[in-house]
Amino acid sequence: MSFLLSLASAALLQATPISIDEQLHLITEENYPFTHTDQTTGKVTGTVSEIIFSLMRKADIQYTLAVMPHKRGKREALKKNHCIFAFNETPERLPRYTWVGPILIGGWAFYKRSESLITAKSLDDLRQYKIAATDGTANTSKLKELGGFDMVLTPTDDVALNMLIKGRVDIMSGGVIDVTSTVRKQELPEPKMIYYWRKAILSMGCGKETDPAIIKRLNTLNSQRIDYQPRD
């Protein structure tokens, strides 16, 4: 075999997709605008969902999709070939899952009504106020862990924002992208950010026993996205 023919054969082998017969069981939740069910079509959509579905198509990986509550979903995703999105990467979660991402980078912040005079330079400054926060999120879990916050737990960001606007709480805690989208969706007065707390990395977390070839292929394709955002 000639040298040029050998090179051509090697290039062809590198371009040929790895054969992956196993399917993934994807899990998501109602978390607008990242992932949610379109009320008209009944299909799951959203900024993160569309990226995940595109990666699955490009990787030629078969999958199932289930929508379930966040707490149940993150337990199910610990199983082999099960994955949950959009899932915040946190120090506590990082060793428990294998990851595809980052898919989207946002952050967590605290907000007040536009007319409020509340100011804050640290988390300690916020402990004196009543805070609306969505239950089950990494953001709220961290606040619970830190302790000392007067929190009213809500099922969704929509409820938390409505409580803030109606004056039932002093401030709210939430994702910077989530809050902006909720304001637009509900046509509510825009709250004012008073303290940007932490960067949040949204990814897809999969069970540790999931086929490494699947994870590698998805991460490679994800890194080739035009709108890809590195962690650092």
CB atoms within 10 A of CB 78: 15
pTM exceeding 0.75: no
71 has pLDDT over 50: yes
Per-residue confidence (pLDDT) for residue 16, from 0 to 100: 38
At 93 the pLDDT is 94
Q: What is the pLDDT of residue 20?
A: 56
What is the rounded distance in angstroms from the CA atom of residue 86 to the CA atom of residue 101?
A: 10
At 130-186, the pLDDT tens digits run 999 999 888 898 899 999 999 999 998 889 999 999 999 999 998 888 787 788 777
- Mean pLDDT for all residues in the chain: 88
Mean pLDDT calculated for residue range 88-113 = 94
Residue 232's alpha-carbon distances to 9, 87, 107, 194, in angstroms, are: 37, 18, 14, 24
21-105+201-223 under CATH 3.40.50.920, yes or no: no
The domains of the chain are located at 21-105+201-223, 107-200
Look at residue 61 and tell me whether its pLDDT is greater than 70: yes
Q: What is the pLDDT of residues 17-41, one digit of tens each?
A: 445 567 999 999 998 888 999 999 9
pLDDT interval class at 6 (50, 70, 90) = very low
Residue 21 is predicted with a pLDDT of 62
> Token pair for residue 218?
């998805």
Class of domain 107-200 as given by CATH: alpha beta
Task: Establish whether domains 21-105+201-223 and 107-200 are of one fold.
Answer: yes
Under the banding of pLDDT at 50, 70 and 90, the label for residue 53 is very high
**Alpha carbon distance 169, 67 (integer Å):** 30
pLDDT surpasses 90 at 200: no
